[in-house]
């Protein structure tokens, strides 16, 4: 999928498109050295990473407060969300948590170079003091029960979370329900017929 095909699925302003294009160029430049995403998916960055991340913003209606993205890696979904929100939801603030120092350095450099406001924390999620986030996201980080441990630590009261999940999502929900109570909604993924995106709230220990 090219930038033009992305635009057929998700409208963005010219400035946001330019930022995404510049982000794609940064990934091309840094990926051989620090393996931010698999080389194969880099060829499909507009669908596998940009559209896949953008759909997450579109499933939420939060317009202000703190959004924390955990285990951001090369910036997915967190930096894409920050790029979109810069114009679409300017009162949202982003914190990206990534323990790998080289990836965190990439995220800091990319945010600065793209003129996107995002705080990058290079630490382990479970070592950080609670972030008090209003919204939490994490892609390809951990099973749902572990993600709920992180949500318990980092969400503000009444905060919500949004987690893309692969084909094993039903087992993950069953497993998580042994330890947690939560409400959730399931949304079909725009980019993977086997995947879903879970929006989760009202999280408490079982």
Ligand X SMILES: C[S@@+](CC[C@H](N)C(=O)[O-])C[C@H]1O[C@@H](n2cnc3c(N)ncnc32)[C@H](O)[C@@H]1O
Residue with tokens 């350095």: 105
Q: What is the DSSP letter of 50?
A: I
**Looking at 124, 168, 170, 181, which residue binds ligand X (CB under 6 A)?**
124
Helix (H, G, I), strand (E, B) or coil at 13: coil
Distance CA 205, CA 111 (A): 36
SS3 call for 122: coil
In DSSP terms, 201 is beta-bridged to: 183
CB of 14 to ligand X, least distance (A): 26
Nearest 5°: the CA angle 40, 28, 113 is 140
Q: Cβ 118 to ligand X, closest distance in Å?
A: 14
Asked if 73 interacts with ligand X (CB under 6 A), we say yes
Name the one range near ligand X by CB under 6 A: 68-76, 109-117, 152-160, 197-205: 68-76
Confirm or deny that 125 is annotated as ligand binding: yes
According to the annotation, is 126 in a ligand binding site? yes
Residue facing ligand X at closest CB distance: 73
Q: Which residue in 24, 35, 99, 189 binds ligand X (CB under 6 A)?
A: 99
For residues 17 and 7, the answer to whether their CB atoms sit within 8 Å is yes
Considering the rule CB under 6 A, would residue 141 count as an interface residue with ligand X? yes
In angstroms, give the least distance from the CB of 204 to ligand X.
Answer: 22
CA distance 170 to 56: 19
98 lies in the binding site for ligand X (CB under 6 A): yes
Please provide residue 150's backbone torsions phi and psi, each rounded to the nearest 5 degrees.
-65, -40
In the complex, what is the shortest distance from the CB of residue 141 to ligand X, in angstroms, rounded to a whole number?
A: 5
Q: Is 79 in the site for ligand X (CB under 6 A)?
A: no
Choose one: 16-24, 55-63, 69-77, 188-196; the region binding ligand X (CB under 6 A).
Answer: 69-77
Per the structure block, which two tokens stand in for 204?
């408490």
Residue (153 or 156) nearer to ligand X, CB: 153
Token code pair at residue 152: 């318990």
**69/92 with CB nearer ligand X:** 69
In whole angstroms, give the CA distance from residue 182 to residue 204. 6
By CB neighbour count within 10 A (0-12 exposed, 13-18 middle, 19+ buried), where does 205 fall? exposed
Q: Does 74 bind ligand X (CB under 6 A)?
A: yes
* Contact call for residue 144 and ligand X (CB under 6 A): no
Interface residues toward ligand X, by CB under 6 A: 37, 71-74, 76, 97-100, 103, 124-126, 139-141
């Amino acid at each position: 999928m090219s930038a033009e095909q992305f635009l057929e699925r998700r409208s963005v302003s010219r400035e946001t498109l330019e930022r995404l294009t510049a982000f794609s160029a940064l990934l091309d430049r840094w990926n051989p050295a620090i393996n931010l995403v698999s080389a194969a998916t880099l060829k499909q960055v507009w669908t596998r990473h940009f559209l896949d991340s953008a759909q997450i913003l579109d499933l939420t209606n939060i317009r202000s407060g703190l959004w924390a993205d955990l285990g951001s890696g090369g910036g997915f979904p967190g930096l894409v969300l920050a790029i979109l929100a810069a114009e679409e939801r300017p009162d949202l603030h982003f914190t990206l948590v990534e323990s790998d120092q080289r990836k965190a350095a990439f995220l800091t450099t990319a945010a600065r170079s793209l003129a996107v406001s995002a705080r990058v924390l290079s630490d382990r999620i479970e070592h950080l003091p609670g972030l008090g986030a209003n919204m939490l996201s994490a892609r390809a980080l951990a099973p749902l029960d572990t993600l709920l441990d992180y949500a318990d630590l980092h969400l503000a009261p009444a905060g919500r979370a949004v987690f893309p999940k692969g084909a094993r999502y039903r087992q993950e929900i069953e497993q998580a329900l042994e330890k947690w109570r939560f409400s959730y909604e399931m949304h079909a993924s725009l980019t993977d017929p086997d995947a879903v995106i879970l929006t989760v709230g009202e999280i408490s220990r079982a």
